[in-house]
Amino acid sequence: MIVHKKLANGFEYIEIKNSAAEAKIALQGAHIFHYKRADEEQILWLSEVSDFEYGKAIRGGVPICWPWFGFNENKNLPQHGFARVSMWEFIKSDESDEKSSSLIFRLTHGSQTLKMWRYKFELELHVTISDKLTMELKTTNLDCESFVLTQALHTYFKVSHISHALIKGLDKKPYLDALTWKNEIQEGDITFNQEVDRVYQEVTDEIILRDENREIHIKNSGSSSTVVWNPWIEKTLRMSAMNENAYEHMLCIESANAFDDRKVLKPQSSYTIKAVIF
Ligand code: TA6
């Protein structure tokens, strides 16, 4: 079942339910903010105090960072790009399989985007909601010149407690520590006892998030960089739409094309980044 819903303030989202899972996807940003498999705990974390207002990114779920990851050289432009605060078009859905629902959302250039980023583009998110959450983000360059693209599926995962969380699959990978701007090498699994904000490179294997007796797998394609982030105590206090203890129950594992993993798209070419969470 796929239902188009609207909050009292007019904020629109799509609600999806099938025999395998349920999800909610806002039209602003094609932002998946709820994904839950049947008879299981929520997999995505959503802030209890998230905004659901046009022009403000939802805090949690899977914000789409596009067409730049991080800050733009023009500091007047939004961090992580404009896609997540733009209104996307819900193009179509397919519910032919009772255990799987597929949806397509699209964003194309317009007067607002051209003011921030001068290129013509088409951006599509293909989402499949089943016992897996599959997200494919396809960028097509409709302009007459090449452009540089950095992006991320900035996925917030819910954890029982950050002290129980452990990330496997990044051992020996080089990473840029965004807290020190130093290049480091990961030693062993990632655990959390302080703020962590790292951009891993040369990522090829499946990443596993282990939380008590639960394992979540993330399989990426079209991406060799992964961002791992937990704001810990101090940064959480400075973040918008996060309760002070929010850091205890979330962490981000972001499938990205960031820093050295940036992409250059020639005119009429396309590039797809894909993440499967299961
Ligand atoms: O991906 C990690 C990060 O860049 C953090 O440094 C933090 O800024 C986070 O993204 C959230 O950014 P946002 O713009 O959503 O508040």
Q: Is 227 in the pocket of ligand 1 (CB under 6 A)?
A: yes
Q: What is the mean pLDDT of the chain?
A: 97
For residue 267, whether the previous peptide bond is cis, meaning omega lies within 30 degrees of 0, is no
Give me the pLDDT at residue 127, please: 98
Give me the pLDDT at residue 271, please: 98
Mean pLDDT, residues 210-225 taken together: 97
- Helix and strand tally (H, E) in the chain? 2, 22
Q: Which atom of ligand 1 is nearest to the CA of 79?
A: 14
pTM tops 0.95, yes or no: yes
Are 82 and 88 in contact by the 8 Å Cβ rule? The answer is: no
Question: What's the fold here for domain 2-277?
Answer: Beta-galactosidase; Chain A, domain 5 (2.70.98)
Q: Is 268 in the pocket of ligand 1 (CB under 6 A)?
A: no
* pLDDT, tens digit, 9 for 90 and up, residues 8-17: 999 999 999 9
Q: Is 64 in the pocket of ligand 1 (CB under 6 A)?
A: no
Atom 9, ligand 1: residue with shortest CA distance = 229
Atom 11, ligand 1: residue with shortest CA distance = 239
Say if strands 147-149 and 64-65 run parallel, antiparallel, or are unpaired.
Answer: unpaired
Give me the pLDDT at residue 53, please: 97
* pLDDT, tens digit, 9 for 90 and up, residues 20-62: 999 999 999 999 999 999 999 999 999 999 999 999 999 999 9
Give me the pLDDT at residue 84, please: 98
Mean pLDDT, residues 90-106 taken together: 96
Mean pLDDT, residues 109-125 taken together: 98
Q: Report the catalytic residues.
A: 154, 254
Mean pLDDT, residues 2-10 taken together: 97
| Residue 93 to residues 88, 105, 156, 170, 236, Cα–Cα distance (Å) | 14, 9, 25, 35, 37
Atom 15, ligand 1: residue with shortest CA distance = 59
Q: Is 254 in the pocket of ligand 1 (CB under 6 A)?
A: yes
Mean pLDDT, residues 249-264 taken together: 98
Q: Which of 77, 179, 196, 197 to mutate to test the pocket of ligand 1 (most atoms within 8 A of CB)?
A: 197
**pLDDT confidence bin for 96, thresholds 50/70/90:** confident
Give me the pLDDT at residue 132, please: 98
